[in-house]
Amino acid sequence: MMDHGYHNHADTTDDPKRLRESGVRVGVMVFMALFFALMAPAGLGLATFSSLTSLAAIVVAVMGTVHGEQLAPERLTRWDEAAALMLISMLSGALVDLAAVESAVATAG
């Protein structure tokens, strides 16, 4: 199996490289979700952002499974990244204006 820097379970410290990689991954996913959300029709931007960050959380969780990461080690893992992305998704989803979404869908259809 390839070593991606996450399989050394004896290492319980969060080294700066791991923190930087994790931050970059989450940042890129949030940026891409924001980029595509800004191209969404009027009224659908925040809903699009929420949906895309939720999808990103699922992708990161699957990658955590593929890499065999534990759910609760004493270091930062892809599971933590997925949780952060899902939190962003849920918070942005709570701010979605449902009337604006219904209006946008009605005018598009």
Task: Express each pLDDT in 17-66 by its tens digit.
Answer: 888 999 999 999 999 999 999 999 888 999 999 999 999 999 999 999 99
Model confidence at 10, pLDDT cuts 50, 70, 90, reads: very low
101 located within any domain: yes
Composition of the chain by helix, strand, coil, percent to 5: 65, 0, 35
Domain of 82 in residue numbering reads as 34-108
Cα 109 to the center of its chain, rounded Å: 30
Give percent of the chain with pLDDT exceeding 70: 87
Check whether 12 has a pLDDT greater than 70.
Answer: no
What pLDDT does residue 73 have?
Answer: 72
22 located within any domain: no
48 located within any domain: yes
29 located within any domain: no
88 located within any domain: yes
**How many domains does the structure of the chain reveal?**
1
pTM of the prediction?
Answer: 0.82
CA atoms of 56 and 35, how far apart (whole Å):
14
